[in-house]
Amino acid sequence: MAGSAGRTTAKAAGKGAGSTEAAATQAPLASLVVKEGEEAWTSEELAEVIDELHEQREHSASIVENLDEEISDLMRDSGDGAGQDQADIGSSSFERDHELTVLSNERDKVAQIDRALGRIDDGTYGVCESCGEPIGKMRLMAFPRATLCMPCKQREERR
């Protein structure tokens, strides 16, 4: 992925551009925590995570844009119900609710990605937001938006 076009967090927010390597060095690599027994982050590993986050953000942003248009059309076409039977109205309602749920989930994902990129920039990436312990490099490489270590995530999911 190192060959992918890289962008900084500022670019993700629409403020400018830079290379992945520049984004990866904004926060000193030594400030990024790892679990005991894990090797420190390399600039290549961090660049790969940043590229993955940007790819996910672009994908989710395009979904949000498309769904915004679709929902606008659904709202506009809702009409007054004249000539529609109950099944048609119910189907339209179900479709609109489904689209709104997907839209909300994708907006949340974009916010999570922006937060992860911000944490990379400020050097707090990899620290569990609940207990302050390292999340683990392998978990972050598999799920770059993670904000909780596995024990805290499991505890949250049990609630």
- 37, 52 in Cβ contact below 8 A? no
What's residue 13's pLDDT? 38
Alpha-carbon torsion (126, 130, 131, 132), positive or negative: positive
pLDDT-based confidence at residue 27 (cuts at 50, 70, 90): low
pLDDT surpasses 80 at 25: no
User: Could you report the per-residue pLDDT of 46-88, keeping only the tens digit for each?
Assistant: 999 999 999 999 999 999 999 988 888 777 765 555 567 788 7
Q: How far is Cα 40 from Cα 144, in angstroms, rounded to an integer?
A: 16
H/E element, 43 = helix 43-76
The share of the chain scoring above pLDDT 70, in percent, equals 78
The residue among 127, 122, 115, 1 whose CA lies nearest residue 52 is: 1
Mean pLDDT of the chain: 81
